[in-house]
Amino acid sequence: LLAALWPLLRPGGRLLYATCSILHEENAGVIRRFMASRSDAMLAVPPAGLPAWLRSVGGTGWQALPGDAGTDGLYYALMARGSD
């Protein structure tokens, strides 16, 4: 999905990747592989005021584990497209 949508994003545009999974292979692993394949992909600065129960995941995104704030678990990464 990322590879298909990325070309539609204008330079400077942002894309939010989110899952309801806590598995590394579906979250940080996907983002690391995607960013390694695209020289114009970078992590965007997250919005201010993220809830304390969201944890940074190795510099690739943020995650909540099952039970955090009544969630089943989730992950998101905010990426920005630079110049080609």
* Catalytic residue status for 36: no
User: What pLDDT, on the 0 to 100 scale, is given for residue 34?
Assistant: 97
Q: Say which amino acid occupies 47.
A: P
Among the listed residues 5, 18, 20, 69, the single catalytic one is 20
pLDDT tens column, 17-72: 999 999 999 999 999 999 999 999 999 988 889 898 999 988 899 999 998 988 89
> What's the DSSP call for residue 83?
-
Domain segments of the chain as ranges: 12-45+52-81
User: What pLDDT, on the 0 to 100 scale, is given for residue 23?
Assistant: 95
Decide if 27 contacts 63 (C-beta within 8 A).
yes
User: What pLDDT, on the 0 to 100 scale, is given for residue 21?
Assistant: 94
User: What pLDDT, on the 0 to 100 scale, is given for residue 84?
Assistant: 67
